[in-house]
Amino acid sequence: MPATVLVGTQWGDEGKGRFTDLLAKEMDLVVRYQGGHNAGHTIVVEGQSFALQLVPSGVLYPHTVPVIGNGVVVDPAVLLDECAMLERRGVDTSRLVVSGNAHLIMPYHYELDLMTERFLGHNKLGTTKRGIGPAYSDKAARVGLRVQDLLDGKIFRQKLDVVLREKNALLSRVYNRLPLDGDEIAERYLEELAPRIAPMIGDTVGLIHAALGRGERIMLEGAQATYLDVDHGTYPFVTSSNPVAGGACVGSGIGPRDIDRVIGVVKAYVTRVGSGPFPTEVDRETADRLVDRGREYGTNTGRRRRPGWLDLVMLRHAVRLNSLSDIAVTKLDVLSEFERLKVCVAYEGPDGERYEHMPYHQSILHRVRPVYEEVAGWGEDLASVTRVDQLPKAARAYVELIAEQAGVPVSFVGVGPGREQYVTFAA
Ligand code: IMP
């Protein structure tokens, strides 16, 4: 059976985790294909909240094999801690398989993430400081260490020594930091971490293709989102990987013909963390209401997210970039307290021109003004809604507007944080 991709359509934090979780119930394999522990998924199961960073959401179902694909960057210590946390809470992590081709996040990646941000000053990107960018840079520069290198101490050490020479020169001479000790790093990674990670390492491409061959169901779970994509996002205020659906092929090792469904997750409003352009960003008072009601603080870093109204220009473009087949709307309940809602239907450029799609030139994007349509709110709590016909008329109209403007159907709508708080729309 062909695979399903689940991808965020905004700047991340759309609430992908809850739908990954919902769909994982029907999946045999759930594969992460990019990013690292810069991601954070919160899943609420029977009142218990699970915050996952690296382990795919499917881990919570005993029948699902969670896979960390080759496109992910892995800090083995973080992975082991996350597995230990899950085990302590009664979740079996023994089925987890990590690609040997995934790249390792090394101690110097954290240092360099911090230092480059510091040197950028007020132009900083606002990264999660998890070493993500430097790890992907090393991968592209072909000096990265991979998960499989943990299985061969000699190779690991050789590669580390070569790369550390350059990193230490950079750290000490450019950034005025203390050089890192190769023996210490090798001891930590090879003696402390490698023996515990080794049983998880496997041939994930082989595993995925064997599952496809058996007609099993596979979900490719995106982290971050379309506008944080290094190619298609609001560069340079992006992450260093490809969250778009095309990245799912590269980061897991399957071709496009093995995918037949791409679900785009659309939060009912928009948020972003860190720096970068944001046409529909709202004033402080509206922001406070959205942040309070939507609990818009990073799962991972605790940072307050910047909120804004729903942006249909971004959504139309995300439909194209990901060839979305359908949409899952999240956090509709957060809008319940607003009497009137604004929805951005187009941008007005600096010279008065109208944009229905994202302007390709970033300088224009920085200067556009959103063209809003005002729609009625519903003023009712949605917490107990379980069927489409129970949605207030205005809430249903809001969802229909999203589907109409995107040109693809809405399949699910989230009405609360709990695992069961969603409604299904017939395709
Ligand atoms: P990095 O991925 O840590 O390099 O951060 C680059 C940009 O992506 C920053 O603006 C981060 O705030 C943003 N970012 C990275 N991961 C996430 C995420 O999971 N949700 C939202 N924003 C993220």
Question: Among 37, 41, 232, 317, which one carries the catalytic annotation?
Answer: 41
Q: Is 227 in the pocket of ligand 1 (CB under 6 A)?
A: no
pLDDT tens per residue across span 390-417: 999 999 999 999 999 999 999 999 999 8
56, 67 Cβ separation under 8 angstroms: yes
54-67: average pLDDT: 92
Any atom of ligand 1 within 6 Å of the Cβ of 273? yes
Under a CB-based contact definition with an 8 Å cutoff, are residues 27 and 219 in contact?
yes
Q: Is the CB of 409 under 6 A from ligand 1?
A: no
Mean pLDDT, all residues of the chain: 95
pTM of the predicted model as reported, rounded to 2 decimal places: 0.96
CB 222 within 8 A of CB 34: yes
* pLDDT of amino acid 365: 95
133 touches ligand 1 (CB under 6 Å): yes
| Residue bearing the bigger pLDDT, 72 or 60 | 72
Instruction: Find the mean pLDDT for residues 44-63.
Output: 86
CA of 247 to the centre of ligand 1 (A): 16
CA–CA dist 248, 222 (Å, integer): 7
Distance CA 274, CA 37 (A): 16
pLDDT value of residue 18: 82
Element (H, E) at 163: helix 153-169
Query: pLDDT value at position 199?
Result: 98
What atom of ligand 1 comes closest to residue 130's alpha carbon? 3
75 counts as catalytic: no
Q: Residue 121 corresponds to which amino acid?
A: G
d(CA 156, CA 140): 18
Percentage of the chain lying above the pLDDT 70 cut: 100
Rounded Cα–Cα distance for residues 269 and 402 (Å): 11
Mean pLDDT on 260-280: 96
Distance from residue 38's CA to the centre of ligand 1 (Å): 6
Alpha-carbon span 57 to 15, nearest angstrom: 12
Is 41 noted as a catalytic residue in this protein? yes
The CB of 74 under 6 Å from ligand 1? The reply is: no
Q: What is the pLDDT of residue 419?
A: 80
b (16+ CB within 10 A) / e for 186-215: beebbeebbeebeebbbebbebbeebbeee
**Angle subtended at Cα 316 by Cα 231 and Cα 32, rounded to the nearest 5 degrees:** 50
